[in-house]
Amino acid sequence: MSRSPALLEMISGLIATPSVSSVNPALEQGNLAVIELLANWLEDSGFDIEIMPLPGTPARANLIATLGRGSGGLVLSGHTDTVPYDEGKWHYDPFRLRNTGNRLYGLGTSDMKSFMALALEAIRDLDADHLQQPLILLATADEETSMAGARALVERQRPQARYAVIGEPTGLRPVRMHKGILMEAIRLCGKSGHSSDPAQGNSALEAMHSVLGTLISWRKELQATHRNSLFAVPVPTLNLGHIHGGDNPNRICGSCELHLDLRPLPGMDLQELRDELRHRVLDALQDTGVEASIESLFEGIPAMETPANARIVQLAEKLTGHTPGAVAFGTEAPYLSRLGMETVILGPGDIAQAHQPDEYIRLDQLAPTVDLLKSMIDTVCIKDFHLL
Ligand SMILES: [Zn+2]
């Protein structure tokens, strides 16, 4: 039987515990304080607690809290970090939960600290002795930046369970697919020289012109050969987002750099795309004498797809009345899938409110979430879902 604080008190406590994750070290706050808060409540509720520090980072950790035993079971998963906030653009203190009667404002209310409190609320009256399958609450680090928390789980092959629900804000509509994300930098190195004599140099900027042409025709091919109508944008996208080269009009451009963002559909492998990119860029530069280096700007997030006939997907559909769909944002789902879990993304709040000033969650999303989680726990862990 749980002895955790009242629901709004838990949400308020989580919002008041800053856990901004950022690639900018000046903004990075770590998530350990949130992990400790959750660990205390979960321990009081009878869970076995495992805190998994991330290597080399004392202030960041994952939390795996387990109730019951066995090899199957259900994971309720959420990330504990938030994005940074725009100082001055908020009308409220982002770290003080503000209840207006129909909305709760605060950094992380939708994305996605409320979910962990709602999961705790859903197990308030749960009798651990009734569990046929374990229930695992998983709280991760660094989802908003490097996915280092999720990657550490895969490295250590923890936790092991059969099904997972990630409570990212989907407005309580189940999601079984998202695109992946690649962000790559292409750096071309030619030779600078005086503009008056082209023989003096080798223009990286002109070589980039060929690379751009190649990339745009590659995009056409990718979009002609890959389509998934469940997505609002049904084809893979390739955005040329940043370019910089040269300095002066009277100098031959010695180096030029392009950053691109590629969003593959499920079934498109990140490494294969990287190999193909390299191959096409080198092809475009043949005989130019310009050298290329290609680097990933971050690890990348694989696309994810859980089949429509997966049991957790069907359960989510039955309980919500919505056909599981696709979203445009990346999540930790591909990592949980890699751990062998059938994963569905389903949580309260709206992604439109995430990463925005005055982030909020609607109060009328809270009770339905608790009911939904209770039904899921009941079906998977108590009625012994995989034997049904
Ligand atoms: Zn999120």
What is the 306 CA–ligand 1 centroid distance (Å)? Answer: 19
Q: Is the pLDDT of residue 81 over 70?
A: yes
Extract the tokens encoding 97.
């939960």
Of the candidates 28, 81, 121, 342, the residue annotated as catalytic is 81
Nearest to 8 by CA among 373, 372, 375, 366: 366
Beta bridge partners of 183: 261
Is there a catalytic annotation at residue 371?
Answer: no
Q: Which amino acid is at 137?
A: L
CB 165 within 8 A of CB 77: yes
Omega cis (within 30) before 112: yes
Omega cis (within 30) before 159: yes
What is the 168 CA–ligand 1 centroid distance (Å)? Answer: 5
Q: What is the mean pLDDT of the chain?
A: 95
335-388 pLDDT, tens per residue? 999 999 999 999 999 998 889 999 999 999 999 999 999 999 999 999 977 666
Of the candidates 28, 111, 142, 143, the residue annotated as catalytic is 143
What is the 276 CA–ligand 1 centroid distance (Å)? Answer: 30
Strands (E), the chain: 48-53, 61-67, 74-79, 98-99, 103-105, 135-140, 163-166, 175-178, 182-189, 193-194, 237-245, 251-252, 255-263, 291-296, 304-305, 325-327, 342-345, 360-362
Extract the tokens encoding 217.
């025709």
Q: DSSP characters for 129-170?
A: GG-SS-EEEEEES-TTTT-HHHHHHHHHT----SEEEE--SB
What is the 217 CA–ligand 1 centroid distance (Å)? Answer: 33
| Rounded mean pLDDT, 75-95 | 94
Q: Is the pLDDT of residue 1 over 60?
A: no
Q: At what angle do helices 204-225 and 270-285 cross, to 10 degrees?
A: 140
What is the 329 CA–ligand 1 centroid distance (Å)? Answer: 9
Residue 267 burial (CB < 10 Å; 0-12/13-18/19+)?
A: exposed
Higher pLDDT, 159 or 88: 159
For residues 57 and 348, what is the distance between their CA atoms, to the nearest angstrom? 30
For residues 71 and 51, what is the distance between their CA atoms, to the nearest angstrom? 20
In angstroms, what CA-CA distances link 77 with 63, 64, 193, 259, 344?
A: 10, 9, 56, 32, 10
45-74 pLDDT, tens per residue? 999 999 999 987 779 999 999 999 988 899
What is the 79 CA–ligand 1 centroid distance (Å)? Answer: 7
Q: Is the pLDDT of residue 263 over 90?
A: yes
Residues around the ion ligand 1 (C-beta < 5 A): 111-112, 168
For residues 55 and 128, what is the distance between their CA atoms, to the nearest angstrom? 33
CB 19 within 8 A of CB 29: yes
Extract the tokens encoding 8.
């709004």
What is the 112 CA–ligand 1 centroid distance (Å)? Answer: 6
What is the 142 CA–ligand 1 centroid distance (Å)? Answer: 10
pLDDT score, position 2: 64
pLDDT score, position 102: 97
C-alpha dihedral over 91, 170, 1, 51, to 10 degrees? -80
124-148 pLDDT, tens per residue? 999 999 999 999 999 999 999 889 9
pLDDT score, position 274: 98
Is there a catalytic annotation at residue 81?
Answer: yes
CB 216 within 8 A of CB 168: no
225-262 pLDDT, tens per residue? 999 999 999 999 999 999 999 999 999 999 999 999 99
